[in-house]
């Protein structure tokens, strides 16, 4: 069997939903299809939570109205005589959501978030499943929350592999059915409280299911031709990578390539399950394959992180940076849940490069300021090049000042700033 995953862009309109049907028709074999929320619904639901938590029920309801209109218009476009059962189910979801936002916030933001945001995936899979059924692609809709079990770390649920393995193997049986439609990104605790696996977590869901069911491969269908060597937003003349090794995929994801979720590769690598990244707009193109690949020509990949901050930390007494300093620094940064994108120390200073996270950095600066002399440089970019050479480095340094460099044999990272 194979696992397919369709992301938000592939379910953002009736037209794209139809293209899922077109693709599935080409595969006469057992499939589990994992689907994300439609278009930008997850962001919209985050705004609902935000409004609700801030006590702005009017705003929360107005956001919900828009989400409802968006879904209903897709249903209408797909089939103006949409199945009555579907409309009833969708209405029931919205009734639940309107009731939820009318309640007062509990004070547990992450848990509240996980009770609202996951409905985007439920809505999209109900719609797609119903559409495929009426288009003759008989399928079964599965509520993955009952089978993919996590701990109760809301918004970052960690998969309970033992429990999920039993439940998922028991649920997806291919002699009974060839095609299952289910949700990415969501699961639930042993007490059946819904959890999410972290933003963009649907790829990971696909990998978890593939691992548990010993799938032959996972295919992530996207609106790009495959994994590119740079984000076209920041870079001209990108090229598609035809093949990537698991290790390179993990490295690229770690440095911030947005195409694959960092957690996704590991389970696939452990079982040697191939991951294809392909375009739902060009389903006959091969896309990119990630597996136990080797290659003779290494194509440089570029990863750009914008709006970076370099925090310089010095012991107040000009003493050397020692383990106890590092312990304090890491404890502080981890306590705020901020990820360090790059770090470097000299004898008397320690520099960390982080995203300009305005909700966390002021607190971190204040806390570190109790033990260290701390200064900050803003408006920076972090450029990572995997398989760099001199030409690629020169290319990204045009009109930039270089503040910090770190390199290994295969990867260079540079913190740069526009020449002023
Ligand atoms: N819908 C979720 C998100 O946008 C999960 C996903 O798309 O992978 O984060
Ligand atoms: Mg999404």
Q: Is residue 134 part of a domain?
A: yes
Predicted TM-score of the model (pTM): 0.89
pLDDT at 236: 85
- 24 and 135, same structural domain? yes
User: From the CA of 155, which ligand is nearest?
Assistant: 1
Q: Is residue 52 part of a domain?
A: yes
- 193 and 85, same structural domain? yes
Centre of ligand 1 from the C-alpha of residue 344, in Å? 33
8, 41, 208: which to mutate for ligand 1, most atoms within 8 A of CB?
A: 8
Centre of ligand 1 from the C-alpha of residue 377, in Å? 32
* Residue ID of nearest Cα to ligand 1 atom 6: 200
Instruction: Compute the distance between CA of residue 188 and CA of residue 149 in angstroms, rounded to an integer.
Output: 5
Please identify, among 159, 187, 215, the residue that sits at the C-terminal boundary of a domain. 215
Q: Is residue 54 part of a domain?
A: yes
Instruction: Compute the distance between CA of residue 383 and CA of residue 404 in angstroms, rounded to an integer.
Output: 11
- 311 and 210, same structural domain? no
- 191 and 51, same structural domain? yes
* Residue ID of nearest Cα to ligand 1 atom 7: 200
- 8 and 140, same structural domain? yes
Please identify, among 172, 194, 215, the residue that sits at the C-terminal boundary of a domain. 215
- 174 and 59, same structural domain? yes
Instruction: Compute the distance between CA of residue 337 and CA of residue 64 in angstroms, rounded to an integer.
Output: 30
Q: Is residue 295 part of a domain?
A: no
Which residues form the domain of 331?
301-418
pLDDT at 420: 81
Please identify, among 156, 186, 215, the residue that sits at the C-terminal boundary of a domain. 215
User: From the CA of 186, which ligand is nearest?
Assistant: 1
* Residue ID of nearest Cα to ligand 1 atom 8: 200
Centre of ligand 1 from the C-alpha of residue 42, in Å? 6
- 183 and 60, same structural domain? yes
Residue pLDDT tens, the chain, 420 long: 999 999 999 999 999 999 999 999 999 899 999 999 999 999 999 999 999 999 999 999 999 999 999 999 999 999 877 678 999 999 999 999 999 999 998 999 999 999 999 999 999 999 999 999 999 999 999 999 999 999 999 999 999 999 999 999 999 998 867 999 999 999 999 999 999 999 989 999 999 999 999 999 999 999 999 999 998 888 888 999 999 999 999 888 888 877 687 689 999 999 999 999 999 999 999 999 999 998 878 899 999 999 999 999 999 988 898 999 999 999 999 999 999 999 999 888 999 999 999 999 999 999 999 999 999 999 999 999 999 999 999 999 999 999 999 999 999 999 999 998
- 307 and 166, same structural domain? no
Q: Is residue 34 part of a domain?
A: yes
pLDDT at 317: 87
Helix (H, G, I), strand (E, B) or coil at 384: strand
Total count of domains within the chain: 2
- 24 and 162, same structural domain? yes
Q: Is residue 238 part of a domain?
A: no
Q: Is residue 277 part of a domain?
A: no
pLDDT at 97: 98
CATH number for position 380: 3.30.2130.10
- 323 and 211, same structural domain? no
CATH number for position 81: 3.40.1160.10
Centre of ligand 1 from the C-alpha of residue 135, in Å? 26
* Residue ID of nearest Cα to ligand 1 atom 2: 200
121 CA closest ligand 1 atom index: 1
Pocket around ligand 1: residues whose beta carbon is below 6 Å from it?
7-8, 36-37, 42, 120, 184-185, 199-202
Q: What are phi and psi of 36, to 5 degrees?
A: -90, 180
* Residue ID of nearest Cα to ligand 1 atom 3: 200
Between the CA of residue 399 and those of 383, 403, 416, what are the distances in Å? 14, 13, 10
Q: Is residue 287 part of a domain?
A: no
Centre of ligand 2 from the C-alpha of residue 121, in Å? 9
DSSP string for 7-45? -GGGGSSHHHHHHHHHHHHT--S-EEEEE--STTHHHHH
Centre of ligand 2 from the C-alpha of residue 314, in Å? 41
122, 199, 207, 223: which to mutate for ligand 1, most atoms within 8 A of CB?
A: 199
205 CA closest ligand 1 atom index: 8
200 CA closest ligand 1 atom index: 8
pLDDT at 233: 86
- 211 and 310, same structural domain? no
- 16 and 153, same structural domain? yes
* Residue ID of nearest Cα to ligand 1 atom 5: 200
Three-state SS sequence of 92-119: HHHHHHHHHHHCCCCCCHHHHHHHHCCH
């Amino acid at each position: 069997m194979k696992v397919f995953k369709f992301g938000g862009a592939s379910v953002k309109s009736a037209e794209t939903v139809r293209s899922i049907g077109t693709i599935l028709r080409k595969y006469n074999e057992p499939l589990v299809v994992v689907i994300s929320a439609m278009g930008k619904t997850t962001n919209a639901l985050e705004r609902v939570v935000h409004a609700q938590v801030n006590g702005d029920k009017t705003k929360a309801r107005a956001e919900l109205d828009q989400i409802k209109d968006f879904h209903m218009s897709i249903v209408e476009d797909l089939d103006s005589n949409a199945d009555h059962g579907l409309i009833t189910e969708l209405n029931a979801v919205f009734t639940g959501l309107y009731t939820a936002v009318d309640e007062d916030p509990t004070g547990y933001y992450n848990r509240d978030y996980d009770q609202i945001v996951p409905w985007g995936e439920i809505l999209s899979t109900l719609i797609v499943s119903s559409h495929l059924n009426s288009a003759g692609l008989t399928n079964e809709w599965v509520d993955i929350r009952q089978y993919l079990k996590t701990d109760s770390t809301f918004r970052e649920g960690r998969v309970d592999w033992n429990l999920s393995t039993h439940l998922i193997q028991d649920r997806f049986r291919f002699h009974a059915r060839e095609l299952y439609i289910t949700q990415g990104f969501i699961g639930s605790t042993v007490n059946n409280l819904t959890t999410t696996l972290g933003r963009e977590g649907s790829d990971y869901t696909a990998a978890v299911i593939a691992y548990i069911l010993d799938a032959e491969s996972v295919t992530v269908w996207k609106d790009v031709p495959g994994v590119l060597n740079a984000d076209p937003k920041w870079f001209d003349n990108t090229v598609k990578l035809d093949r990537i090794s698991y290790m390179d995929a993990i490295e690229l994801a770690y440095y911030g390539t947005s195409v694959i979720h960092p957690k996704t590769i590991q389970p696939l690598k452990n079982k040697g399950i191939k991951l294809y990244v392909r375009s739902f707009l060009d389903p006959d193109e091969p896309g990119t394959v990630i597996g136990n690949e080797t290659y003779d020509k290494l194509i440089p990949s570029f990863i750009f992180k914008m709006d970076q901050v370099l925090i310089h930390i010095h012991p107040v007494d000009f003493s050397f940076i020692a383990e106890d300093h590092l312990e304090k620094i890491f404890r502080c940064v981890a306590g705020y849940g901020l990820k360090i994108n790059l770090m470097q120390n000299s004898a008397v200073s320690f520099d960390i490069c982080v995203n300009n996270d305005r909700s966390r950095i002021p607190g971190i600066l204040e806390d570190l300021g109790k033990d260290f002399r701390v200064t900050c440089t803003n408006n920076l970019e972090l450029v990572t090049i995997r398989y760099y050479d001199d030409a690629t480095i020169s290319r990204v340094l045009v009109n930039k000042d270089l503040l910090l460099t770190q390199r290994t044999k295969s990867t260079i990272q540079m913190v740069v700033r526009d020449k002023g």
